[in-house]
Structure 1
Amino acid sequence: MIEQITKGIKITVETNFNGTSLRSDSLYYVFSYTISIENKSLETVKLTDRFWTIFDSLNGTEIVSGEGVVGQTPTLEPNDNYTYKSGCFLESNLGAMKGFYTMINLETYEQFKVYIPTFQLTTPALLN
């Protein structure tokens, strides 16, 4: 489990390898990740956008950005926790992801970035 706190917002990441998938005659390694966002600050915040850098040891780097996460823009009051699950397909069995969420403090309307620490995407055989 990987954790990081930025401006009172705690990000926790857990990853899983979900096997392989054949798509368009190419083999992909399927990974899922579960992210928990906990508001340890004293203010109410809203997640508005995401930005990911995905590293694939065989395919270089991919940038993914957009509004919210999994179709939602959650609001977190102090001590609230929001958890979601997502995933990605890699051409190799070794990769990593990192990024940030853009959030807005709903009391001051200040926008700020909450960093998502780098986490590894590896198949179990590579961990031995």
Structure 2
Amino acid sequence: MSDVTAIRVDTVPEYCADDSRPEENRFVFRYTITVHNGTGETVQLLARYWKITQGSGNEQEVRGKGVIGKQPLIAPGESFSYTSHAVLDMPVGVMQGAYTFCDATHTRTFDIAIAPFRLAGPHQVH
């Protein structure tokens, strides 16, 4: 397998004011994830793990197969993007996690960490 550090995960979070209900402590965030495969082999995204930390310090963990119901194959030099959402009970939080991949021959699995990224509603300085 090529150098797995050549797999990069970019995150773009966005507050969804139209779907949020601050008076009900419901804050909705959309996030777009792009996985770039800079290795020389096709990889498959098998599973996800997220840790969501609310501004209060409460944590939630999410695990599951693939992303948005898919376990995409990502060819060398290609990218895969998807958009999902998280609902918090506070206007600020942090998400971080990892994806589990396998190589093209399904002989080796490996994890790629997803760096923490901030979820923040308007006018939040957390």
User: Structure 1 residue 21 and structure 2 residue 36: aligned?
Assistant: no
Alignment RMSD = 1.9
Higher strand share: 1
> Where does structure 1 differ by over 3 angstroms across 4 or more consecutive aligned residues?
none
Please, which runs of 5 or more residues in structure 1 have no aligned partner? 1-5
**Cα shift at 1:57:** 1.6
Distance 1:59 1:28 in 2: 16
Aligned pairs, number: 121
Q: Deviations over 1:80-125 (max 9, x none)?
A: 1100000111000110000000000113621000111100001121
Contact 1:58–1:91, Cα closer than 8 Å, also in 2: no
60-69 or 25-34: which moved more?
25-34
How much identity, in percent, do the aligned residues show?
28
User: Structure 1 residue 30 and structure 2 residue 28: aligned?
Assistant: yes
Q: 2:117 aligns with which of 116, 119, 123?
A: 119
TM-score of the superposed pair, with normalisation by structure 2: 0.89
Distance 1:59 1:108, change over 3 A: closer
Please, which runs of 5 or more residues in structure 2 have no aligned partner? none
Distance 1:27 1:108 in 2: 44
User: Structure 1 residue 76 and structure 2 residue 74: aligned?
Assistant: yes
Distance 1:26 1:124, change over 3 A: closer
**Cα shift at 1:59:** 6.2
TM-score of the superposed pair, with normalisation by structure 1: 0.87
Q: Deviations over 1:50-71 (max 9, x none)?
A: 0000001236000000000000
